[in-house]
Amino acid sequence: MNDDRYLEDARLQLRKIKAMGDRALRQAGDGRLFAAPDPDSNSLAILMKHLSGNLRSRWTRFLETDGEKPDRNRDGEFETGPDDTPDRLRERWEQGWKILFETLDSLRPGDLERTVTIRGEPHSVLQAINRQISHYSAHVGQMIYLAKHLVGPGWQSMSIPKGKSKEYDVAKDGKPYLAEPKS
């Protein structure tokens, strides 16, 4: 495997994950961030807060320290308080993703075989990246589902809309397809 190609693809996939989360949040708007389907479900705000905390913890000093930082309050990520304003949530969201992309950009050939720990469990760098891609995909999928539910009939599809497959020329040029909402 070519390390540079893998890292390039990991960055691409993670940028797509972030873009989907950003688009779901834009469609939902600030007024729906704190809505949850029931008391045991997460709101968009909670999902943003959890992902932001995870991003900061996992990717800060990635090669030198355990991915679960001692100052992380994971349980607190599943609660909202007066400091959790839409602006503050967006700021933490952007900062977490910035840390991730700066860290990925700093990795060099050969780093994928290095060992890092997450909660004391050893992972190769490659395994740690894959673990986080899976984790972020799952939560951004939750965000999309919840935002779509909250927006209702005004939701704009973030992929190929139902019944429209033949209208899209999907990835014939070899580039990943990512639909942009119609203005």
> Going residue by residue through the chain (183 aa), what tens digit of pLDDT does each one get?
588 999 999 999 999 999 999 999 999 999 999 999 999 999 999 999 999 999 999 999 999 999 999 999 999 999 999 999 999 999 999 999 999 999 999 999 899 999 999 999 999 999 999 999 999 999 999 999 999 999 999 999 888 777 777 666 655 555 555 555 544
| Domain-located, residue 120 | yes
**Which CATH number fits the domain that encloses residue 140?**
1.20.120.450
| Domain-located, residue 180 | no
| Domain-located, residue 113 | yes
Q: How far apart are CA 177 and CA 28, in angstroms?
A: 23
| Domain-located, residue 174 | no
Q: How far apart are CA 158 and CA 19, in angstroms?
A: 10
User: Which residue segment(s) compose the domain that 7 sits in?
Assistant: 3-167
User: Which token pair is 85?
Assistant: 């304003």
User: Which token pair is 121?
Assistant: 């469990």
| Domain-located, residue 182 | no
| Domain-located, residue 172 | no
Structural domain total, the chain:
1
Q: Where are the beta strands (DSSP E) in 49-174?
A: 115-118, 121-124
| Domain-located, residue 176 | no
| Domain-located, residue 177 | no
